[in-house]
Amino acid sequence: MPTLKQRLKDGEFVRICGIGRMPHHNLIHIIGLNGGFHGLWFDLEHVGFTSQELEIATMAAREHGLDTFCRVAPTDYATVTRCLEAGSSGVMAAQIFTVEQAEEFVRWSKFSPRGWRGLNTGGWDAKFSMVPAGEFTKRANEETFVAIQIETLSAVEHCAEIAAIDGVDALFVGPSDLSQSLGVTGQFFHEKCLEAIDRVSVACRNAGKPWAAVTFNPQHAEMLIGKGCRMVSPTNDVRLAVAGVNATKKDFADLFSKTM
């Protein structure tokens, strides 16, 4: 199964779906069976997942060839390694403000000599101790996907330096918080938002790295892709559920217009 990191390295365009409020394995099976997505990202910033929930979710995703990574707050190194040991192939830091903070997150994600991730071979990533420690740590350092979200004013200011960090595989634009930071909440086509996205695009191009983003509609997605975005997240579990309800009401418009 090609990982998201490998797909990006190979120059592929990647589609991902967010999972936060409804991390049930059956929903992941439905997404996988319908096809079209290359991977999932689990939102542990806004929602708390247990280790068991994440293990089951990543297992369901793998059944359909879907790679996964987890968005986490950059406040606890242990959360990073728990995500990786549960079977997710990468991690993404939310709410980054400084280059030093991004560097620290990379070190949490990597074993020595690049970082100081705690070594435990009892998880999925080391095949439950069946992979020798030396081989495991070397491979993990090479294959673990690390993304940094650009959604604060400070992160935008320092995006070139963040993109240049060894071990940062991609920058990930968070349009909602970015627009909020810029004082134009929800105005995703505001010139301030577009200028910030341009800075991220240039930073990644100069660093030779891809960038990703959440998108809300086809026009926004087209704009992102036109500016060089290589990984797009067009929906999540909640939006899929709302879209399903709205589609049902539209398909059965006469039925829903009836009164007793």
pLDDT tens digit sequence for 151-174: 999 999 999 999 999 999 999 999
What percent of the chain is modeled with pLDDT above 90?
A: 98
pLDDT digits (tens, 9 = 90+) for 180-236: 999 999 999 999 999 999 999 999 999 999 999 999 999 999 999 999 999 999 999
- Spatial separation of the C-alpha atoms in residues 26 and 100, rounded to whole Å: 40
Q: What is residue 103's predicted lDDT score, i.e. its pLDDT? A: 98
Q: What is residue 230's predicted lDDT score, i.e. its pLDDT? A: 98
Buried b (16+ CB within 10 A) or exposed e, 74-99: beebebbbbbbbbbbbbbbbbebeeb
Amino acid identity of 6? Q
Q: Is the pLDDT reported for residue 79 higher than 90? A: yes
Q: Is the pLDDT reported for residue 40 higher than 90? A: yes
Q: What is residue 1's predicted lDDT score, i.e. its pLDDT? A: 85
pLDDT digits (tens, 9 = 90+) for 61-75: 999 999 999 999 999
- Spatial separation of the C-alpha atoms in residues 80 and 56, rounded to whole Å: 17
Q: Is the pLDDT reported for residue 55 higher than 90? A: yes
Q: What is residue 216's predicted lDDT score, i.e. its pLDDT? A: 94
Beta strands in the chain (DSSP E): 14-19, 39-43, 67-72, 90-93, 145-150, 170-173, 211-214, 231-236
Q: What is the DSSP letter of 230?
A: -
Q: What is residue 259's predicted lDDT score, i.e. its pLDDT? A: 82
CB 207 within 8 Å of CB 245: no
Q: Is the pLDDT reported for residue 254 higher than 90? A: yes
Q: Which structural domain range is residue 26 located in?
A: 4-257
pTM summary value: 0.96
**In terms of Cα–Cα distance, which of 221, 246, 225, 223 is closest to 234?**
221
pLDDT band, residue 102 (cuts 50/70/90): very high
> What average pLDDT does the chain have?
97
Q: What is the DSSP letter of 38?
A: S
| Count of the separate structural domains present in the chain | 1
Instruction: Provide the CATH number for the domain around residue 211.
Output: 3.20.20.60
Q: What is residue 127's predicted lDDT score, i.e. its pLDDT? A: 97
Q: What is residue 182's predicted lDDT score, i.e. its pLDDT? A: 97
pLDDT band, residue 97 (cuts 50/70/90): very high
Q: What is residue 120's predicted lDDT score, i.e. its pLDDT? A: 97
